[in-house]
Structure 1
Amino acid sequence: MAEESPQVASDHWHLRDAHELARQHGVDPAHGLLADEASRRAQQHGPNEIQGRPGRSLWGQFLDQFKDFMVLVLMGAAVISGVIGDLIDTLAILVIVLLNAAIGFVQAWRADKAMAALQQLAATHATVLRGGQTLVIAASELVPGDIVLLEAGNQIPADLRLIEIAQLKVDESALTGESVTVAKHTSTLSGVAHALGDRLNMAFKGTTATHGRGRGLVVATGMATELGKVAGLLDRDTDRSTPLQLRLAAFGKRLALAVIAICVVIFLVGVLRGEAPVLMILTAVSLAVAAIPEALPAVVTVLLALGARRMVSLNALIRRLPSVETLGSVTFICSDKTGTLTQNRMHAELLLADGQEWVPGSGLAGPLHLELLRAAALCNDANRNRDGVWQGDPTETALTQVALEAGLDKAELERQFERVQELPFDSERKRMSTLHRVENSFIAYTKGAPESVIPLCSSQWRVDGSVPLQPAALLAAAEAMAAQGLRVLALACRTHVTLPAPGSVEALESGLSLIGLIGLIDPPRLEAAVAVRDCQTAGITPVMITGDHPATALAIARRLGIVTDGEAEVLTGRELATMTESALRERVASVRVYARVDPAQKIRIVEALQARGEFVAMTGDGVNDAPALKRADIGVAMGRGGTDVAREASSLVLLDDNFATIVAAVREGRRIYDNIRKFVRYAMTGNSGEIWTIFLAPMLGLPIPLLPIHILWVNLVTDGLPGLALAAEPAERGIMQRPPRPPQESLFAHGLWQHILWVGLLIGGLCLLVQAWALSTGHAHWQTMVFTVLTLSQMAHVLAVRSETESLWRLGLGTNRPLLGAVLLTFVLQMATIYVPVLNPIFKTEPLSLAELLLCLGASAVVFVAVEIEKVWLRRRRQRLAASRP
């Protein structure tokens, strides 16, 4: 082996013979690279990745925390205060600002880390030959000389010189801008000047295989690919804010203007009352920094990112962050049947040939059934891995297994009947065909849906010849099998004396002789039936969309509870094709099962539901599903059986291809949105309390109750750990018994604004009552008491807002341990500012007597009691509303 992997001029790969290129790259196309050689080349060439702009350094992210204008103003005012003479106060304020920046930096770092973990999980993979074995590896691990296997739906993982193809077509629009798919070949091109779109024997990184299969030699990776060469043109900022973040940012700007106006009033009133101007500047700016919710969008990012990371443990991979907040709005879930609602463990249940039935395992198969199984094993793309396990489509692996049980080994059959041509399956034809060499002739096998295959047949196959076909009787037999919940396939054949023209559909799929029907069963998932019930309870309508026979779809839908035993309405693709848009909009309101639907028709179903105001989640796994996934409000792709194209088009990937996971993700989405509301309720109410306290004091003839250091400290310890700990709040009881949230509903709906105002006013009122009492009774510690009441009131409030309607005692103190720990830590820190002597001059506090401390605790407890009373009122109000509904 050479010391370095051979290099070939990058502009000339399409001009070189594929096998000669493989030899130069030191690889046998039939076996691929050895693992050791692949590892060596990976070190030489680096990862197969397109390099984007470098991310912000940790130091840069930390400095970003000081870009806020009000923070800069506060730091400037603190420095001026220090120059005038109060150096300790200035240093204390600067330390708190630094601590606040550190907390913001850690929050951003956690969000970035969570999103990086999600992106790693969402990385594309490639199927390669290495050491004669077929492996699935991360696309970033590909090296020049690797042999890559392609199928329809794969994203091309590197620049490839094609070696073998079977009807391979590629969508190169991502690279060339041409929207028409390109048919590929393996022949060497002549001449010199060939545009990218004309290099038909190449497949380029970033493009997509849409049809057929192929095998290619990796000739360039990473930045050496054609896509890498234009990476600078593609480099753009992809960090987009979620709708909720944008709404909160806009709200924050409007609120900032109001807060600044209030701060100006406070400054003027304080100066007029004789307070020091520098003190009033610091007070006003400190209040603005504490009360303006400039960090809300950033905190929401943290909550969404951590929620998305948690969803991975539920086998739901979020690819687009806005989906986390919108999952709770889903009203319709349109799901595929096979593998999502069913177990994806197909096995052959019944074979029917020339009117004779055979049940696998019930005895020896007769000649007719053996021929049917031979056709099923040969017209089949399943293959065995190194462990002897069949890989491929579950239907095809089930067919190979039942053939093997009858004594027909697929590998042996393929040696006897060499495959020389094929027409891969596609969703339009609903069938596939293969052509095999048999001594001096050829035999074509076709497999597909009965209504797709039977019209192509002119006779019924028998061992001793053929007889005229009875299409109506055969279609009725297929219907009866489907009504039992079986997936029915028809298999047919035709003998050819000479080799037909390559790719000729007419030659391979006409004048066929029907061999028989095979019925396979794919039992429903046990958890899917429970998930369907959960959907219906949560106000979500589950809908089955499948390419299977209508009777099969209806039988499975009944077993899952999607339709009741009395319902029999199934809308077929043929009927849908004849319907107007207005008629379809009316029909989708009642249809729960769609059968024989092609991917293009899924888009019409989604649009019809959306036209009725529904918020639609749609599942898909194939290339042609991508437009429907993009059109749906939540596109859901399959992680195991899905294609790269479908995953790229989706916003949610099911790592286990399970319908129940969609429902679990919806539940988690509702929990995350609830917790965002709780955080906003808590943080904004605290800010409201601070504003009321400082704004009303001078209006009532009281001195400024809090110093700048107090305001910043309260903002630091209350908005930090306790607020973020609300993200760990478990889902509320009955979270899946309430209807979906309207997608355009304001975050401040359902009385949130009113709560922020009245509870904030209550906190401010309690602080001022304590201040007035302390001043009137000669207590010198009045400012420390106000400072303590403000801090502890917010701790009482955070415990009360764990649920909008449920009592804390019913929730249980220990059900959110991070929050309980954060509250206790905040209490200890607050006590330290009061009772640790070295901290008294920094925070301008004095030790409180036991009676004074108990008074502060009692005043703070009023907030908790008041919010609990509010929840009792809300519960009774909701009960009255529920009772009044018909």
Structure 2
Amino acid sequence: MEDEKADAENGGYCFYGLVVMQDPPRAEVAESVRLCKQAGIRVVVISGDQESTVESIARQTGIVQSDTPVMINGGDLADYSDEQLKQLLAQPEVLFARTLPRDKLRVVTLLKEMGEVVAVTGDGVNDAPALRRADVGIAMGKSGTEVAKEAADIVLLDDNFASIVRAIREGRTAYDNIKGFITYILTSNTPEIVPFLLFILLGWPLALPVLLILAIDLGTDMIPAIGLGMEKSESDIMQRKPRDPAAQLLNWRMIARSYGFIGLLQTSFSYLIFFHILFAGGWEWDVELAVTSPLYMQAITGFFATIIVTQVFNVFACRTAKLSVFSKGLFSNRIILIGITSELLLLAAIALTPLGQMIFGTAPFDAVYLPWMLLFGLIILVCEELRKYLHRTYDLFGLE
């Protein structure tokens, strides 16, 4: 022992090896960070590790790419006023090292005061205050403490940052699908409401009886609308900037599109068919039409069929918010295809079968009108494609 102690004091060690411990980020994190940046989401690192470690991890994952990111040591945070810290937080690349729980809480609070929507990830007891203060607190399910899980809004079962990005994609997709669903459903309201208004105010023949309205709302529109709710995301979903937190799900642009544009087109096209059938059958203005008149039953069936056919084209138009529907492929959503098949079968049952004619008061019309109905539907689809093109190219006529 005396000899070993003397060797140690004289530096006489024997080198046997070097042990290095490393906890590298997961391989998929860098791609997830890239997607976040592309989607307008800024990633800020607030860590208790030393500065060199924080910057190294941030560079490996792509959070930091510039040569001079803003690096703030937790020990210096007390020297910054709130306004000074807000100016630093406005920079594109900000890193915090050697921070305490109160520092994390302060940074989250200031970000919220700046109008940012803040999501915080964490796994330890020291992360709990920041997780609670954030708009969305995300705790780790495997490695996280019970305190962090209780403070969080969401618990990640796989402790994977990439899961957060996938959740953002799914959330944006769900939001788009709800808007598409609403837009589609509202469109057919116009050709349902206008006939009653014109019947009451101007004395026009009632072009769409109540039973046929119920057939649209509870029958033909149902499955295609469900299909819109199951639509896959658009290819540019993660290239859009975050929407305004104050944005409404149903806004005036959607109402204008459904009621004032596509809805009016559907109504006009349906009335063209309706009156052409009447005039071709010898009807004249101011001549009363009995609801049991074969000519009237043909005319209302033509009006009803025009709505159904144009809604087929409208459901394709509602599948995308910004991109062309052809970018998804016309046959990629099976539920919508099943819905279109079901509504056309229901139309045939109502218009052509004796039972459907007896219940709904319909009668078959001349097949010469079918190409016109298809043309009207195609016009609606082309108008929507043009609107989306203007939205993509010139940021005009969007529904946001």
TM exceeding 0.5: yes
Of 377, 384, 397, 1:860 maps to 377
Query: Cα RMSD over matched residues?
Result: 2.7
Per-residue CA distance 1:205-259 (angstroms, 9 max, x = gap): xxxxxxxxxxxxxxxxxxxxxxxxxxxxxxxxxxxxxxxxxxxxxxxxxxxxxxx
Distance, in Å, in 1 between the alignment partners of 2:272 and 2:10 is: 93
Q: For residue 620 of structure 1, report the CA deviation from its aligned partner.
A: 1.3
Q: CA 1:691–1:750 in structure 2 vs 1: closer, same or farther (change >3 Å)?
A: closer
Aligned partner of residue 872 in structure 1, secondary structure: helix
Which residue does the alignment assign to 1:585? 86
After superposition, residues 452-531 of structure 1 pair within 5 angstroms as 520-531=21-32
Of 820, 833, 838, 2:350 maps to 833
Which residue does the alignment assign to 1:789? 306
Which residue does the alignment assign to 1:573? 74
Q: CA 1:711–1:880 in structure 2 vs 1: closer, same or farther (change >3 Å)?
A: closer
- The answer to whether the 8 A contact 1:702-1:772 is kept is no
Distance, in Å, in 2 between the alignment partners of 1:793 and 1:696 is: 21
**TM-score, normalising length from structure 1?**
0.40
Q: For residue 545 of structure 1, report the CA deviation from its aligned partner.
A: 1.7
Unaligned stretches of 5+ in structure 1? 1-352, 370-401, 403-518, 882-886
Q: CA 1:696–1:649 in structure 2 vs 1: closer, same or farther (change >3 Å)?
A: farther
* AA at the equivalent of 1:634: V
Which residue does the alignment assign to 1:663? 165
Aligned partner of residue 802 in structure 1, secondary structure: coil
Q: For residue 725 of structure 1, report the CA deviation from its aligned partner.
A: 1.2
Of 270, 274, 277, 1:767 maps to 270
Which residue does the alignment assign to 1:849? 366
Which residue does the alignment assign to 1:706? 208
Distance, in Å, in 2 between the alignment partners of 1:642 and 1:716 is: 48
- The answer to whether the 8 A contact 2:176-2:321 is kept is no
* AA at the equivalent of 1:844: G
Aligned partner of residue 815 in structure 1, secondary structure: coil
Q: For residue 569 of structure 1, report the CA deviation from its aligned partner.
A: 2.8
Distance, in Å, in 2 between the alignment partners of 1:666 and 1:606 is: 20
Aligned partner of residue 814 in structure 1, secondary structure: coil
Q: For residue 750 of structure 1, report the CA deviation from its aligned partner.
A: 8.2
Query: Sequence identity, in percent?
Result: 38
Distance, in Å, in 1 between the alignment partners of 2:384 and 2:396 is: 18
Q: For residue 660 of structure 1, report the CA deviation from its aligned partner.
A: 1.5
Q: CA 1:726–1:597 in structure 2 vs 1: closer, same or farther (change >3 Å)?
A: same
Which residue does the alignment assign to 1:806? 323
Per-residue CA distance 1:350-380 (angstroms, 9 max, x = gap): xxx9999x9xxx9746xxx9xxxxxxxxxxx
- The answer to whether the 8 A contact 1:527-1:660 is kept is yes
Distance, in Å, in 2 between the alignment partners of 1:608 and 1:531 is: 25
Q: Does 1:560 find its partner at 2:77?
A: no
Distance, in Å, in 2 between the alignment partners of 1:794 and 1:693 is: 17
- The answer to whether the 8 A contact 2:129-2:151 is kept is yes
- The answer to whether the 8 A contact 2:273-2:369 is kept is no
Q: Which has the higher helix share?
A: 2
Distance, in Å, in 2 between the alignment partners of 1:539 and 1:551 is: 27
Distance, in Å, in 2 between the alignment partners of 1:699 and 1:792 is: 28
Which residue does the alignment assign to 1:636? 138
Q: CA 1:710–1:550 in structure 2 vs 1: closer, same or farther (change >3 Å)?
A: same
Distance, in Å, in 2 between the alignment partners of 1:565 and 1:673 is: 34
Q: CA 1:676–1:692 in structure 2 vs 1: closer, same or farther (change >3 Å)?
A: same
Which residue does the alignment assign to 1:487? none
Which residue does the alignment assign to 2:124? 622
Q: Does 1:535 find its partner at 2:36?
A: yes
Distance, in Å, in 1 between the alignment partners of 2:10 and 2:154 is: 46
Distance, in Å, in 2 between the alignment partners of 1:880 and 1:698 is: 33
Distance, in Å, in 2 between the alignment partners of 1:740 and 1:801 is: 21
Of 633, 641, 649, 2:151 maps to 649
Q: Does 1:747 find its partner at 2:249?
A: yes
- The answer to whether the 8 A contact 1:732-1:803 is kept is yes
Distance, in Å, in 2 between the alignment partners of 1:775 and 1:796 is: 26
Aligned partner of residue 138 in structure 2, secondary structure: strand
- The answer to whether the 8 A contact 1:693-1:767 is kept is no
Aligned partner of residue 112 in structure 2, secondary structure: helix
Aligned partner of residue 867 in structure 1, secondary structure: helix
Of 320, 334, 347, 1:817 maps to 334
Aligned partner of residue 179 in structure 2, secondary structure: helix
- The answer to whether the 8 A contact 2:36-2:165 is kept is yes
Aligned partner of residue 44 in structure 2, secondary structure: strand
Q: For residue 568 of structure 1, report the CA deviation from its aligned partner.
A: 4.4
Distance, in Å, in 1 between the alignment partners of 2:189 and 2:150 is: 42
* AA at the equivalent of 2:385: E
Q: For residue 854 of structure 1, report the CA deviation from its aligned partner.
A: 3.5
Of 872, 875, 878, 2:389 maps to 872
Aligned partner of residue 615 in structure 1, secondary structure: coil
Q: For residue 718 of structure 1, report the CA deviation from its aligned partner.
A: 3.9
Q: For residue 689 of structure 1, report the CA deviation from its aligned partner.
A: 3.2
Over alpha carbons, which structure has the higher Rg? 1
Q: CA 1:689–1:645 in structure 2 vs 1: closer, same or farther (change >3 Å)?
A: farther
Which residue does the alignment assign to 2:235? 733
Q: CA 1:858–1:751 in structure 2 vs 1: closer, same or farther (change >3 Å)?
A: same
Which residue does the alignment assign to 2:285? none
Which residue does the alignment assign to 1:596? 98
Q: For residue 715 of structure 1, report the CA deviation from its aligned partner.
A: 0.5
* AA at the equivalent of 2:73: T
Q: CA 1:665–1:598 in structure 2 vs 1: closer, same or farther (change >3 Å)?
A: same
Per-residue CA distance 1:680-704 (angstroms, 9 max, x = gap): 1111222233223432355454211
Distance, in Å, in 1 between the alignment partners of 2:152 and 2:332 is: 34
- The answer to whether the 8 A contact 1:636-1:654 is kept is yes
Q: For residue 753 of structure 1, report the CA deviation from its aligned partner.
A: 2.6
* AA at the equivalent of 1:643: T
After superposition, residues 231-310 of structure 1 pair within 5 angstroms as none
Aligned partner of residue 745 in structure 1, secondary structure: coil
Q: CA 1:745–1:771 in structure 2 vs 1: closer, same or farther (change >3 Å)?
A: same
Larger RCO, structure (CA 8 Å, separation 6 or more): 2
Q: For residue 855 of structure 1, report the CA deviation from its aligned partner.
A: 3.5
- The answer to whether the 8 A contact 2:224-2:336 is kept is yes
Per-residue CA distance 1:852-881 (angstroms, 9 max, x = gap): 333333333332233223223323323999
Q: Does 1:606 find its partner at 2:108?
A: yes
Q: For residue 777 of structure 1, report the CA deviation from its aligned partner.
A: 1.1
Q: For residue 742 of structure 1, report the CA deviation from its aligned partner.
A: 0.9
- The answer to whether the 8 A contact 1:785-1:856 is kept is no
* AA at the equivalent of 1:762: L
Q: Which has the higher strand share?
A: 1
- The answer to whether the 8 A contact 1:689-1:759 is kept is no
